[in-house]
């Protein structure tokens, strides 16, 4: 049961914002720094994404379309259906956050890691996560405009303009400059990873500081949080079952089904937090709470599933013939020729 260390850092940042929220001039400085951090974050996303690799992955278009439909169609449909749980289990602000969670693109790193553990199609998971992140820059704000509307806590047409200026323009700039800075970004991947995470921590601190100043946390009770956890657990279970059995019905191979399950059932905290900050403003703290809880839940559940998938009898039966064929190919012919290997000399008769 993995506990994401970065999530602990996020929770620590939330605690810091609760004890020492930014006010007055400090709030203005934090807001400006957060805006710059978000723009730089998406600039790095654009500089990292290899357009050539993404285009090569289009050959497996059925898998990628399936993941995109799960991420941006099925998930939002479940989110819209959850409206009936207000006010029985969820308050309206928590529901808005849950609905926003269903609009966020899929993850990249964790989908790749779990697909690899489960012996799935890792290249497909890489491309599927990249396509989802790329599409989410445009699709997530449009879905938010259609489904959240004025009930999204400050969401308006201005938010779409902010999305374009703070997310899409920096991303495109990173793509255009990748030819010259791609090598630098690759060589300093570890250091820039700290910049990524530090930027998101700053965004979280700013959002939760505004929420504390506005007093939005007084609207949430322990009972409502428990209800939110139950709803998210059901949502995750539905998506895990649908992606696995649906991919089987579509006649995907086992390796592809694994990639579809892990890429199509998860949501990206790294993409969702900056988008929520832009879309929701002072109400972002409540909007990202469902996403933060879902993030940890999906890591814990998918880690268990990946371990079990790696021990599936189906995985073993597929791995043995593949290994046998590789051995036969290596020992059944002479190096560099197609003739059979010579037989060992027979022992002389006694």
Does residue 238 surpass a pLDDT of 50? yes
Report whether 153 contacts 280 (CB < 8 A): yes
Q: What is the three-class DSSP state of 341?
A: coil
Rounded average pLDDT over 45-49: 81
Provide the pLDDT for residue 317: 54
pTM above 0.85, yes or no: no
Q: Is 70 exceeded by the pLDDT of residue 205? A: yes
Average pLDDT, integer, range 129-138: 85
Distance CA 2, CA 302 (A): 10
Question: Can you give the length of the chain in residues?
Answer: 350
User: From CA 152, how far away is CA 145, in angstroms rounded?
Assistant: 9
Residue 227 has pLDDT above 90, yes or no: yes
278/154 Cα distance (integer angstroms): 10
What pLDDT is recorded for position 273? 87
Q: Given pLDDT bands bounded at 50, 70 and 90, which one contains residue 282?
A: low
Segment 235-250 shows an average pLDDT of 97
Find the mean pLDDT for residues 112-125: 89
Burial 158-197 (b: 16+ CB within 10 A, else e): ebbebbeebbeebbeebbeebeeebeebeeeeeebeeebe
The string of pLDDT tens digits covering residues 137-167 is: 889 988 988 888 654 444 556 666 777 788 8
| CA distances from residue 145 to 69, 76, 126, 137 in whole angstroms, order as listed | 19, 13, 29, 13
Considering the chain, what percentage of its residues have pLDDT values greater than 70? 81
Q: What CA–CA distance (Å, rounded) separates 281 from 154?
A: 7
Residue 291 token pair? 């996403």
> Helix H segments across the chain?
5-19, 24-48, 51-56, 61-69, 75-81, 92-103, 109-117, 122-147, 157-163, 169-187, 189-214, 222-249, 254-264, 269-280, 284-310, 313-331
- Domains along the sequence of the chain with CATH: 5-331 (1.20.1530.20)
Return the top range by mean pLDDT from 7-21, 64-78, 271-285: 64-78
Angle at 177 between CA 174 and CA 179, to 5 degrees: 125
Task: Return the pLDDT at 265.
Answer: 95
Residue 98, pLDDT score = 95
% of the chain at pLDDT higher than 90: 30
Across-strand partners of 340? 333
Higher pLDDT, 84 or 109: 84
Range among 70-84, 88-102, 160-174, 180-194 with highest mean pLDDT value: 70-84
Average pLDDT, the chain: 82
- Greater pLDDT, 317 or 310: 310
Please state, in angstroms and rounded to a whole number, the distance separating the CA atoms of residues 82 and 154: 21
- Measure the CA–CA gap between 210 and 107, rounded to whole angstroms: 27
Inter-residue contact 90 to 278 (CB < 8 Å): no
Contact present, 243 and 265 (Cβ < 8 Å): yes
- Residue 323 vs residue 86, higher pLDDT: 86
Residue 285: its pLDDT value, please? Answer: 78
């Amino acid at each position: 049961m993995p506990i994401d260390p970065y999530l602990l850092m996020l929770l620590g940042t939330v605690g810091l914002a609760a004890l020492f929220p930014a006010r007055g001039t400090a709030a203005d400085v934090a807001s400006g720094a957060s805006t710059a951090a978000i723009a730089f974050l998406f600039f790095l996303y654009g500089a990292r994404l290899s357009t050539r690799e993404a285009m090569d992955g289009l050959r497996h278009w059925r898998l990628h379309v399936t993941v995109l439909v799960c991420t941006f169609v099925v998930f939002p449909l479940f989110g819209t259906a959850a409206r009936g749980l207000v006010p029985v289990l969820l308050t309206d602000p928590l529901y808005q956050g849950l609905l926003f969670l269903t609009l966020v693109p899929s993850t990249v790193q964790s989908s790749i890691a779990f697909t690899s553990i489960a012996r799935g199609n890792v290249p497909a998971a890489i491309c599927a996560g990249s396509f989802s992140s790329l599409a989410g820059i445009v699709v997530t704000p449009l879905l938010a405009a259609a489904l959240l509307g004025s009930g999204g806590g400050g969401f308006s047409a201005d938010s779409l303009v902010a999305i374009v200026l703070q997310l899409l323009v920096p991303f495109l700039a990173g793509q255009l400059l990748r030819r010259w800075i791609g090598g630098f970004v690759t060589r300093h991947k570890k250091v820039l990873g700290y910049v990524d995470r530090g930027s998101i921590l700053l965004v979280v601190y700013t959002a939760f500081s505004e929420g504390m100043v506005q007093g939005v946390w007084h609207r949430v009770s322990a009972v409502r949080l428990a209800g939110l956890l139950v709803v998210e657990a059901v949502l995750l279970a539905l998506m895990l079952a649908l992606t696995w059995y649906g991919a089987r019905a579509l006649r995907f191979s086992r390796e592809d089904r694994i990639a579809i399950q892990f890429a199509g059932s998860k949501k990206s905290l790294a993409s969702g937090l900056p988008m929520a900050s832009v879309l929701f403003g002072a109400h972002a703290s409540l909007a990202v709470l469902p996403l933060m809880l879902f993030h940890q839940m999906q890591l814990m559940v998918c880690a268990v599933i990946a371990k079990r998938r790696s021990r599936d009898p189906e995985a073993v039966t597929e791995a043995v013939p593949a290994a046998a064929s590789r051995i036969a190919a290596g020992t059944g012919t002479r190096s560099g020729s197609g003739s059979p290997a010579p037989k060992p000399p027979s022992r002389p008769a006694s």
